[in-house]
Amino acid sequence: MNKLRLEGRFARLKPARLLPFVVAMFACWLYPAGLVAAATLSYVQGNSAVPQTSQTTVNVTFTAAQAAGDLNVVVVGWNDTTATVSSVADKSGNAYTLAVGPTAFTGVLSQSIYYAKNIKSAAAAANIVTVTFSPAAAYPDIRILEYNGADLNSPVDVTAANTGNSSTTNSGSATTTNATDLLLGASMVATFTTGPGTGFTSRLLTSPDGDIAEDRMVTATGSYSATTAALSPAGPWVMQMVAFRTPLGSVVSPTAPGNLTATAAGPVQINLSWTASTETGGTISQYLIERCTGATCSNFLQVGTSTTTTFNDTGLLASTTYSYRVRAMDSTNTTGPYSNTASATTAAPTFTAPSNLTATAASSTQINLSWTAATETGGTITQYLIERCTGATCSNFLQVGTSASITFSNTGLLGSTTYSYRVRATDASNNFSAYSNTASATTAAPIFTAPTNLTAAAAGPVQINLSWTAATETGGTITQYLIERCTGATCSNFLQVGTSATTTFNDTGLTASTSYNYRVRATDASNNLGPYSNTASATTPANAPTAPTNLTAAAAGPVQINLSW
């Protein structure tokens, strides 16, 4: 007997569990093996959470106290196949490992089973399991269970998983390698599970979801599967089974890998290398690589395996720090301790520039742009930034808009004006690509309407007053009106005689008893001219002499009077 290992096991047991353990050990010494009861895993407690909306985070509490050395099992189900599990963690700091999954019924259901071995003790309601999804998962169904008696080092023996669309569920079979395994079955269904499968005990049957967690102890190696009672009604299902084993006895485990290093190899790849683990009495079969995001992160999840002492992690995000740890696994699925943690930051993303930018005038106020999409390695392009300046050879570009597609319509422009454009891509982290080519276009001439309702009214023998309804301009701004005049009721030799910034004009210095014709048109700052208004005529009245004043009369003798005024 390995005394040191036995003492380590004793150290993890609470006093209430110590006596039965000691009795069992002495029984092994005093009686033949066949007379001693087989080791078992026993159910301790369970709980569930079934939010009826989509969630990114779901918390479930172990309501009773937890004993050091026990096994936590977390069944994670959700009602879609687009969300993924980002992390499974708890407040006690136990490390969770994926046992099986994700298993998906395409477009409908997904489920995975995680476990934490050799857990830390926790007071009642102190340990809360948190499952995080990305993006939000539809109607998640989280079931947590605690078991006592699992192997402390390598509790998972074998797994099985299956999907179907019927009233009967079956995980598919797996052949155990340990005589005393606990078979944990869990389903995720689109309808309702009516009960456990034959030989299984229901531990959790969620409501209103109707998803089960069940278990069964076996006492011999063989081929086993997990089933449930009939679904009501028939429908899509996911069924998984994990066989958890009892302690293997004096288990040999690998040493920790050493000198783990992480080196960025571009914006989407980090290369790992380490010193090999060793194992006396066993054979190392592979290394398990775990990763989390951030220099100080702790929510590691397995991202790969390697049969050598190197691993290239690809498909990463640029300008992002990742942390890694590695442990060895042998041919009996026994895992060793973790290596040191190593971190690296990927390089900035690399872009190709947008290309084939074209600009086409669509009117006097609009130019339409289109281009070939840029690409980004190490990130995802979120939008394009559109910049503009005025003129065919201008260089003072300013941003005038954004587009999530590869087209953009620039409106509110001036007519008969040349504009130049360039485009570049950006991502959610505000990284930028190089600029596209520059493209230019000239808007059409502005479009005017003519002034209307022109009227002319004589205001005396030397003045005629004009008024009209304002013109409009599309593609520019009217700055003033040009007033033209000719003399005579049927004249046509108009000449400009004035301007007005308003819709009125008083024409003075005219000749009495004379007919004048008028017409008006609008203009803008670029000297674009609109059409003429209607013609309006008016005749100045005749001059009316004023009365003489200061008339005086003076006698100039008996027969004459002289007048003056």
DSSP letters of 143-178?
EEEEEES--SS--EEEEEEEEEEES--B---EE-SS
Asked if the model's pLDDT at residue 542 lies above 70, the reply is yes
> Is residue 64 located within the same domain as residue 186?
yes
What band does 466 get if pLDDT is binned at 50, 70 and 90?
very high
> Is residue 321 located within the same domain as residue 430?
no
Asked if the model's pLDDT at residue 24 lies above 60, the reply is no
Q: At which of 295, 318, 345 does a domain end?
A: 345
Q: At which of 426, 442, 458 does a domain end?
A: 442
Q: Are the C-beta atoms of residues 308 and 274 closer than 8 Å to each other?
A: no
What band does 23 get if pLDDT is binned at 50, 70 and 90?
very low
Q: Which residues contact 318 (CB under 8 A, 6 or more apart)?
A: 267, 268, 346, 347, 348, 349, 350, 377, 378, 379, 429, 431
* Between 379 and 25, the higher pLDDT residue: 379
Q: Residue length, the chain?
A: 565
Asked if the model's pLDDT at residue 320 lies above 50, the reply is yes
> Is residue 229 located within the same domain as residue 169?
yes
> Is residue 68 located within the same domain as residue 160?
yes
Q: What is the mean pLDDT of the chain?
A: 90
In a domain, 211, yes or no: yes
Q: 433 to each of 247, 275, 317, 375, how far by Cα in Å?
A: 57, 40, 16, 9
Q: What pLDDT score does 557 carry?
A: 84
What band does 331 get if pLDDT is binned at 50, 70 and 90?
confident
Q: In whole angstroms, what is the distance from residue 181 CA to residue 266 CA? A: 46
What band does 39 get if pLDDT is binned at 50, 70 and 90?
confident
For the residues 434-456, what does the mean pLDDT come to? 94
- Residue 485 tokens, joined: 């005049």
Q: Which domain holds residue 458?
A: 447-539
pLDDT tens for each residue of 505-516? 999 999 999 999
392: left (phi over 0), alpha (psi -120 to 50) or beta: alpha
Q: Of 72, 73, 43, 77, nearest to 206 (Cα)?
A: 77
For the residues 390-397, what does the mean pLDDT come to? 93
Q: Are the C-beta atoms of residues 19 and 100 closer than 8 Å to each other?
A: no
Q: What pLDDT score does 250 carry?
A: 46
Q: What is the pTM of this model?
A: 0.45
For the residues 131-155, what does the mean pLDDT come to? 96
- Residue 243 tokens, joined: 């066989």
Q: What pLDDT score does 332 carry?
A: 82
What band does 487 get if pLDDT is binned at 50, 70 and 90?
very high
In a domain, 320, yes or no: yes
What band does 12 get if pLDDT is binned at 50, 70 and 90?
very low
In a domain, 550, yes or no: no
> Is residue 140 located within the same domain as residue 214?
yes
Q: In whole angstroms, what is the distance from residue 76 CA to residue 45 CA? A: 17
> Is residue 266 located within the same domain as residue 340?
yes
In a domain, 12, yes or no: yes
Asked if the model's pLDDT at residue 18 lies above 80, the reply is no
Total domains in the fold of the chain: 5
In a domain, 125, yes or no: yes
> Is residue 451 located within the same domain as residue 420?
no
Q: In whole angstroms, what is the distance from residue 507 CA to residue 462 CA? A: 8
For residue 12, the SS3 value is helix
For the residues 174-198, what does the mean pLDDT come to? 95
For the residues 472-497, what does the mean pLDDT come to? 94
- Residue 312 tokens, joined: 């290239």
> Is residue 226 located within the same domain as residue 154?
yes
**By percentage, how much of the chain surpasses pLDDT 90?**
80
| CATH number, position 418 | 2.60.40.10
What band does 279 get if pLDDT is binned at 50, 70 and 90?
confident
Q: What pLDDT score does 334 carry?
A: 85
> Is residue 266 located within the same domain as residue 335?
yes
Q: In whole angstroms, what is the distance from residue 146 CA to residue 121 CA? A: 12
In a domain, 553, yes or no: no
In one-letter notation, the amino acid at residue 155 is P
In a domain, 522, yes or no: yes
> Is residue 313 located within the same domain as residue 456?
no
Q: What pLDDT score does 36 carry?
A: 34
For the residues 381-389, what does the mean pLDDT come to? 97
In a domain, 556, yes or no: no
Q: What pLDDT score does 252 carry?
A: 61
Q: At which of 442, 469, 490 does a domain end?
A: 442
Q: Give the end-to-end CA distance of the chain in Å, rounded to a whole number.
A: 153
- Residue 192 tokens, joined: 């309702």
For the residues 248-270, what does the mean pLDDT come to? 85
> Is residue 452 located within the same domain as residue 503?
yes
> Is residue 304 located within the same domain as residue 453?
no
pLDDT tens for each residue of 211-244? 999 999 998 999 999 999 999 999 999 999 999 9
